[in-house]
Structure 1
Amino acid sequence: MDDFVCDKLTKWGLSEWIQTFQDHEVDKERLYCLEDRDIADLIPKVGPRSTFRKRLKLLKEQPNTTDPETSDSSVEVCPSTSKTNDKGKRKLDLPGESSQSPASKRPRDDIQGSYTEEEILSDVKDTMRCVLGKLPDKDDKFIKFLKKNINDLETEKSELVGVFGKTGAGKSSLINAVIGVEDLLPSGSIRACTSVMIKVEANMKNPKYEADIEFITKEEWKEELWTLINFAGDNEDQENDKDDQDSVETLSLLYGEEWKNKTPENLMDKKYYREIPEFLSSGRKTLTSDTAKKLSSALVKYTQSKSKKEGAKRYWPLVKCVTVRVPNNPLLQHVTLVDLPGNGDRNKSRDTMWKKVIGSCSTVWIVTDINRAASEKEPWEILKESCSQLGNGGQCWQIHFICTKSDRCEDSDDQSDDDVHAQILEQNEQAKIDVMAEFNKLKDVKKHFSEECFKVFTVSSKEFLRKKRLDPNETEIPKLQNVLQELNDDHSETFNYVSGAHRILSLMQGASSREGAHIKNDVCTGLEKKLSLELLKVNETMNATLTVFEGCLSGGVEQSKGEWEELLKSVIYPDVSDKVFQKILKCVVENDGIHKPKYGELINVNMKLASCLTDSIDEEFKKTFPNEGNSGPFNGVINAFSLGTEKKLKNKKYKNAKLQLTFLRTEEEKMKTKLNKIISERKKTIYSSLETTIEEEMKPCYDGAEIFQGIGSMNKMRETIEEHVRRSKDVMFDHAKDAMMKQLMDLMLDIPEKLESTMQKSIVLSLKTYGVSQSLPDVREELRKVDKHYNELIGTTVSPDDDATLRSDSPGQAAAVRP
């Protein structure tokens, strides 16, 4: 820590915290980068923290960043989310943009008052910590309910953005440019020929660049070694295909020439892992650096498949996932970028992680070179192979097809700058037209994603940084930055926290008052009747949905029974040589019907056999569980659910129940959000249940086929599989249908039950629990403060009636009326 920080803390009366700042290496530059979370970690006491926050804010606001108390020389200010307001609007400097560019600021119109979001959040958090501390330590249902709800306010949410694209497409440069950290991921090496998943997220704990490396288990690597050695073999008598070459290269990266004539057991000797002992012990390794460039250099051996240095080892085959954490980056506050392999991985744990992540992506970026954007096979294959896991089997609602290197222009040497500029813009526009035309040809993809979900961007990371031929906006990097910012805004920590605090304080203050007991009882009776009517609508809609799915699946079962042979032969009789396919089929049966080659299309016998069933419900499934739009699941019946609290709040007759109705209004929204999240997660399992059941039904034949070896083994494996399906077809497809119907029915029973129990409990707590002044602290002032912030966030002002309600609701003296 430098003298500047020490001097400031001393002058501000905070000298007792000097050692803490020193321990966390907060120097002059980093002082200006501190955000509310950092300050809370450094100064846990509310009083000193408030003083520090105010002083730091004044320091930042001074011309040339000088201290209001002194005339210290100016210091460079790091980008921060804690920007001062201009007429109530927060402006965010997006990383990598010039502050002079009109596109570099993204105004936020949701705050109409005199506080920034960060100030509001900090103030309300401090308020709720104080309220929590005031609650008595009693074995009381109501007190426990309040404590749990206050603690639950701290939950964090994050959006996943999946990034696909082959090496050389400019993916790493794109990520660097968008998040504004140029040296984070070296060009061409984010996943050069590997299956390593790379997550890029915010470091919320310290101002360091960190990388958490998670290895696969020793047992998994030993099993994978068998497959690699089997493919590598002795290539003299085998056809030299890409999988053979890839296996040889992979083994040579770790073992040099020593892998030859060795068994998997031999290659597990600890002498081969001296440089990475964590692989054999903890399974994790963490790298930390002050700069992105240093961290990137240290990561090379875990993410890159080739080295300039002869004989240098590469450990990516042992890596399951790398999580890179970037400090002080507002675009990553509620967003994680995930670089994903195209079709999963042959390693089971990596593949399981891949499926989980891809099913959780709300947005997908498919990155390819603009030169052949519409005709390049690989990006479209990625989209076709993963569309079902992203769409009906996931929660993705927008796909961005990103054409990189859009600044290139052929034959530009003899042209003027204006001509080159015009030509670049024309080629980029044509690329968008060609890509959209190609997308519209993909009928299977469009079962899951409408044209509105698919957008095309033409970007140049290089041009965005050097600004020679194109305006920054024409590089379209700012558009992608806005995409990330909008995802952050969708999960506004401030609004979620403040609205939750407002709900809890309204309940507490209402429970402290005994006024209008008869009105509250009348309101309670009316809401309970309304709840019954709303639940009836939910049940009717869900029963109708079940009937539709029953019909769709029945048709899919009959089609599957008639077409199973054709479907099966398309997978186990491909147009490749027998020598090549014998090894592939061996891997298929050993991996329960699935083989993920390093190159080429995914082979999945179970998926193919289930295809008629999935085709039969795809359209209805998308309507029932939409990822896009605002209607919500089950034809919008959950989102439409309402107890009518909004209407009652406007009726002066229910003035004495205003606080309770306010609680119920926000509790209702919270409940619907929670249910939609539950449905979003459960629908993934429901959709995949068809393939999962087929895999379970097929497992006996895979186990039986696995024993065959040597001459004629391929035909024996084929015969075993075919005979099993022939004997099982009359029950296997019905079992898959029944499994999906059961899961649908379970969900449709759970949702109304959760809705009823939660809202019934909330009605009773808010309207039949009152007059508890002996148990609850008086929170009138806290509620008035939070109410003001809440109305600032939603763009309204506190009405005189509301303010009068808060002033008049003094704690009553009667004992609590318990449900």
Structure 2
Amino acid sequence: MDLFVCDKLNQWGLSEFIEIFQDQGVDTESLYCLEDEDIDKLITKVGPRARFKKRLKQLKEEENTNSEKEICPKPCQEQNEDPVDLTKILPSTSNTEKRKLDLQEESSIKKPKLQRKRSQFTESMIMNDVKNIMTHVHAKLQNQETTDLNEFLMTKIRDLETDKRELVGVFGKTGAGKTSLINAVIGVRKLLPSGDVDACTSVMIKVEANGLNSNYEAEIEFINKEEWEDELGTVDRFLEDDEEQENHDDDEENDGYHDLIEKLTAIYGEEWKQKSSQQLMDNRYFREIPEFLQSTKKILTCESAIELSAKILKYTKQGEDKDIKRWYWPLVKCVTVKVPQNHFLQHVTLVDLPGNGDRNKSRDSMWKKVVGNCSTVWIVSEINRAASDRESWEILKSASNFLGNGGECRYIHFICTKSDVLGDLHDPSPADAQAKILNRNLRAKEAVGKEFNKLNKIKKYFSNECFKVFTVSSAEFLKPKYLKPEDTEIPELKDFLQNLNDSHSVTLNYVSGAQGILSLIQGASLKKVADCYKVVCDDLETNLICQLDGIRDEMRDIYSTFIKCLDEGVETSKSSCKNTLKFFLYPTRKSGSAQYYILKSVVKNGGIHKPKKGKEINFNMKLTSFLNKSIDEEFRKTFPNEGNCGPFNGVINKFSLDTEKLKPKYTDAGLQLTFLKTEEEKIKTKLNKMIRDNKKVIYMSLTKTVEEIMKECYEKAAEFRGKNTLQNIRETIQVYVHNFQNSMFEKAKNVMLELLLKLMADILGLLEKDMMESIELSLKTEDCTIPDVSTELGMVQKLWEELNSGMDT
């Protein structure tokens, strides 16, 4: 049996039959040829046998679909023999020459959509081939004597596969057409339940590809039960606050209480009114979701999108169903929906997001993390009020910190939905309807663009090149009446996602890395301890030191600039602190009772008040606003989300040992230099990810430090009860900030500088350590236990050439 069959049995949950299949000599070719009587002998139990037959049938159908039925020879057909037993190394039975002919034949027929499918399938086959080659090589190395070089090479093979998903965050109020848009873009009409009935999205919903099977699946992640117990305990606190305040006619002051009542009613109906918090945690309320009590994920599996949509309804707070007696969305942190056979979701995840986070701490923490990881955001609004839709623009403004310097967002798309709604035209001709729709779409784009240019806070993070307006019609795309498919702009969004998916070049990186590792193994196996190796090492080490010095100099200049900016920010923060307090503690447009509830919420929640609608109030961010402002421009320049320059003014991306220039001079070390070239690219990718993750922490450290310093103040202020509570809270905050403002802003500055300095040191240390290790092990080690991989190297080089040829096509 080969690796392909073993892998499939593992994926299908039938690993206990691996030994039986091996004993019977079932390889990739014979797997596809198994008849029912053969399967009956291999798997005697009815349940596993039925599961195996279903999975095998699905596998055959998927391969036939992907290959357009004739893209490659069927596994049962006779293959050309090779001097080596390639079926053990390349279990996909792909034929390089046949695939090249397919690509050439396809390129002569102008069918862009078919061409894309064919290219993706070819890429998938190449990836599968190279993975199996590297698994085979890893096994070869394991059979050799353990040495430093062997361990190094096996680690490099294990680290080959990396997958950084692109997140696309979708914002917009209910009724704007978010779910219809997502369903239309992914090409599944009724995947996500409609949210038109409810007031807002409460649960985060991720949509990504199911790469393991052909089912529609959902993973439901719950908050932990301690958090729910804590929320139940807040009922009494709300009732206490109501008794303290006689006037409570302001909607805002009751938001938190009404929100909690809505959650309790969803889960318990009217029972919660007669039960204590302890009784409401009884297991009988959670019989349908034991995973909540066990702190595990609930998995739902369906054969159709409609079936899954109905099953996840009670977990998402979207839609309405009178048959549902108990709703569980208050306990859900996130729902991940997995769609089969979807190419552009392979490395892309769409996330339907609540507008401004959540009152629940774990949900809010996840919201901030996901928004910070979004490379793209879609702001969805109905076309007839897109430019004036205050809520949509507020969502963008409130998330700007987490998208810009505190995140990695590169694209903002404002999507105007329902562009096919004609309004005053009664039964128009198709030509009149099309003209009106296209004309209105153009005006909407211009109006939204003008509105974006007014947003100074957003503009300091994002240029006009990041921003684009789409006018879409999901209905017209699914049921054409007035528009051509391309006029709905759904295909343009699909192309964007496809390009985002392809931009990772996961296959390209894997094959390139594999070629580099095999080059090193083959170079070491030739056992030529050439005289030139020492000279090559000296040249490479000299180049490395020179490159590190250049990076260090650039970092030193950047660090000095940050010190200067932050010093100015500290002074401005101190001088402006009195006004900051005044505007926050004594807002002019709020009633006394509203001020009371907002401040009570602020001190209870660590400085943050989250209204059910509208903008979040974050006192910690208000205190650090001048510090953030002082470094915003320099931060964006140092850690850009846009463009190809890269962080630290491009010095990381420019790093090079000039191995290509050394190859003609040191031909005997050519294979080792090829390996070092691929290692350069891998370490730069690794460093850019490390920088991307750390820069978010660095930027948000200013607010986090102030939040930690203010914690004692909030806890003290939250204890006040009864008469004069509002005034006592105000005075407590004023006195505390006055006493600590000098040290508070200085500490925030110093923490940011420490984190920045640590990141710089980590970059230099990792770059020097990894590259020196690669240089020494590839050129200074004499190892007689290295296997010959000339065949494998030749095969990977051919696949690399084919991959590049396919991409050019």
When normalised by structure 2's length, the TM-score is 0.87
Q: Distance in 2 between matches of 1:374 and 1:475?
A: 19
Equivalent in the alignment of 2:128: 122
Secondary structure of the structure 1 residue equivalent to 2:349: strand
CA contact (8 A) 1:103 1:473 kept: no
Please show how residues 82-101 of structure 1 align to structure 2 within 5 Å.
85-87=102-104
Q: Amino acid of the residue matched to residue 33 of structure 1? A: E
2:615 to 592, 598, 601: 601
Structure 2 letter corresponding to 1:130: H
Whether 2:741 is the aligned partner of 1:729: answer yes
Q: Cα deviations across residues 298-355 of structure 1 (Å, max 9, x unaligned)?
A: 1111112663428832211111111111122112111111111111111111111111
In the alignment, the residues of structure 2 paired with residue 360 and residue 52 of structure 1 have an alpha-carbon distance, to the nearest angstrom, of 35
Residue 757 of structure 1 is matched in structure 2 by: 769
| TM-fit CA distance, 1:644 | 0.8
User: Which residue among 437, 449, 453 is the counterpart of 1:436?
Assistant: 449
Structure 1 residue 491 displacement after superposition: 1.9
1:65 equivalent in structure 2: none
Q: Distance in 2 between matches of 1:621 and 1:312?
A: 51
**1:459-516 Cα distance to aligned partner (Å, 9 max, x none):** 1111111122111111111111111111211222311211111010010111122447
How far apart, CA to CA, are the structure 2 residues paired with 1:474 and 1:306? 29
SS of residue in 1 equivalent to 2:190: coil
Q: Shift of residue 457 of structure 1?
A: 0.9
In structure 2, the residue matched to 1:226 is 233
Q: CA RMSD in A?
A: 3.4
Instruction: Return the offset for 1:128.
Output: 1.1
Give the Cα–Cα distance (whole angstroms) in 1 for the partners of residues 479 and 59 of structure 2: 27
The 2-side partners of 1:750 and 1:598 are apart by 42
Which letter maps to 1:281? Q
Aligned to 2:203: 196
The answer to whether residue 642 in structure 2 is matched with residue 625 in structure 1 is no
Alignment match, 2:6: none
Give the 3 Å change call, closer, same or farther, for CA 270–582 of structure 1 in structure 2.
farther
- 1:616: which partner in 2? 630
Q: Which amino acid aligns with 1:474?
A: D
Q: Distance in 1 between matches of 2:393 and 2:100?
A: 42
Q: Tell me by how many angstroms 1:455 deviates.
A: 1.0
Change (3 A) 1:23 1:620: same
Alpha-carbon distance change, 89 to 17 in structure 1, aligned in 2, over 3 angstroms: farther
The aligned residue for residue 9 of structure 1 is 33
Matches of 2:794 and 2:360, distance apart in 1: 56
Task: Say which of 674, 678, 691 aligns to 1:662.
Answer: 674
What CA distance in whole angstroms lies between the structure 1 residues aligned with 2:100 and 2:199? 39
* Distance in 1 between residues matched to 2:183 and 2:62, nearest whole Å: 20
2:140, 2:581 → 1: CA distance?
A: 67
Task: Report the alpha carbon displacement of residue 110 of structure 1 after superposing the two structures with TM.
Answer: 8.7
Change (3 A) 1:46 1:366: farther
Q: Could you say which residue in structure 1 is the equivalent of 2:269?
A: 256
- 1:583 is displaced (CA, Å) by 2.5
**How far 1:549 moved relative to its partner?**
0.3
Question: Which residue number in structure 1 is paired with residue 758 of structure 2?
Answer: 746
Report the counterpart of residue 238 of structure 1 in structure 2. 248
| Pairing 1:325-364 to 2, within 5 Å after superposition | 325-364=338-377
Could you tell me whether the CA contact under 8 Å between 1:524 and 1:767 is conserved in 2?
Answer: yes
* The one of 504, 520, 524 aligned to 1:491: 504
Matching residue within 790, 793, 797 for 2:800: 790
Counterpart of 1:212 in 2: which secondary structure? strand
Q: Name the aligned partner's letter for residue 384 of structure 2.
A: N
Query: Aligned match of 2:139 in 133, 141, 148?
Result: 133
Q: Which residue of 2 aligns with 1:640?
A: 654
State yes or no: 1:394 paired with 2:407: yes
**Does structure 1 residue 478 correspond to structure 2 residue 491?**
yes
Are the equivalent residues in 2 in contact too, given 1:590–1:703 (CA < 8 A)? yes
Cα distance in structure 2, aligned partners of 1:482 and 1:531: 41
Distance 1:306-1:581 versus aligned 2 partners, 3 A rule:
farther
CA shift at 1:684, angstroms? 0.6
Residue 678 of structure 1 corresponds to: 690
Q: Which of 713, 722, 725 is the aligned partner of 1:713?
A: 725
Match of 1:152 in 2: 159
C-alpha separation in 2, matches of 1:210 and 1:32: 19
Report the 3-state secondary structure (helix = DSSP H, G, I; strand = E; otherwise coil) of the residue aligned with 2:666.
Answer: helix
| Secondary structure, aligned partner of 2:344 | helix
**Structure 2 match to 1:79:** none
> CA-to-partner distance for each residue in 1:428-477, whole Å, 9 max, x for gaps?
11111111111111111111111111111111111111122111111111
Counterpart of 1:223, as a letter, is D
Deviation, 1:105, is: 5.0
Residue type matched to 1:473 in 2? E
Q: Per the alignment, in what secondary structure is the counterpart of residue 189 of structure 2? A: coil
Using the TM superposition, give the Cα deviation of residue 50 of structure 1 relative to its aligned residue in structure 2, in angstroms. Answer: 5.7
SS of structure 2 residue aligned to 1:491: coil
Taking a change above 3 Å as real, the CA distance of residues 230 and 530 of structure 1, as seen in their structure-2 partners, is: same
CA displacement 1:677-728 (0-9 Å, x = unmatched): 1111110100000000000111111011011012211111111011100111
CA spacing shift, 1:717–1:304, aligned 2, 3 Å: same
Structure 1 residues 203 and 544: CA distance shift in structure 2, 3 A:
same
Q: Counterpart of 2:183? A: 176
Q: Partner residue of 1:26?
A: 55
How many Å apart are 1:268 and its aligned residue? 2.4
C-alpha separation in 2, matches of 1:101 and 1:178: 24
Is the CA contact 1:84–1:90 (under 8 Å) kept in the aligned structure 2?
no
Query: What displacement does 1:14 show?
Result: 8.3
Match of 2:579 in 1: 566
- Taking the TM superposition and a 5 Å limit, the aligned residue runs for 1:401-480 are 401-413=414-426, 415-480=428-493
Give yes or no for the alignment of 1:779 onto 2:789. yes
Amino acid at match of 2:658: G
Shift of 1:155: 3.0
Mark the CA change 1:84 to 1:297 in structure 2 (over 3 Å): closer, same or farther: farther
Query: 1:805 — aligned with what?
Result: none
Local SS of the residue matching 2:339: strand
Distance change (3 Å), C-alpha of 1:186 and 1:352: same
* 1:48-82 superposed Cα distances (whole Å, 9 cap, x missing partner): 89677569x99xx9xxxxxxxxxxxxxxxxxxxx9
Which residue of structure 1 lines up, in the alignment, with residue 398 of structure 2? 385
Cα distance change of structure 1 residues 493 and 305 upon mapping to structure 2, 3 Å threshold: closer
The one-letter amino acid of 1:144's match is E
Deviation at 1:625, TM superposition (A): 0.2
Deviations 1:370-398 (Å, cap 9, x if unpaired)?
A: 11111001111111011111110011111
**Distance in 1 (alpha carbons) for counterparts of 2:175 and 2:237:** 30
Q: What is the CA distance between 1:622 and its match in structure 2?
A: 0.3
Correspondence for 1:545 among 558, 573, 576:
558
Give the 3-state SS of the residue equivalent to 2:104 in structure 1: coil
Which residue of structure 1 aligns with residue 713 of structure 2? 701
Which residue of 770, 778, 788 maps to 1:766? 778
Q: Which amino acid aligns with 1:711?
A: K
Change (3 A) 1:168 1:18: farther
Structure 2 match to 1:815? none
Residues 200 and 354 in structure 2, CA contact (< 8 A), matched pair in contact too: no
| Matches of 2:712 and 2:470, distance apart in 1 | 48
Flag structure 2 segments of 5+ consecutive residues without an equivalent.
Answer: 1-11, 13-28, 77-84
Map 1:239-318 onto structure 2 (within 5 A).
239=249, 241=251, 243=255, 244-260=257-273, 262-304=275-317, 307-309=320-322, 312-318=325-331
Shift of 1:794: 3.4
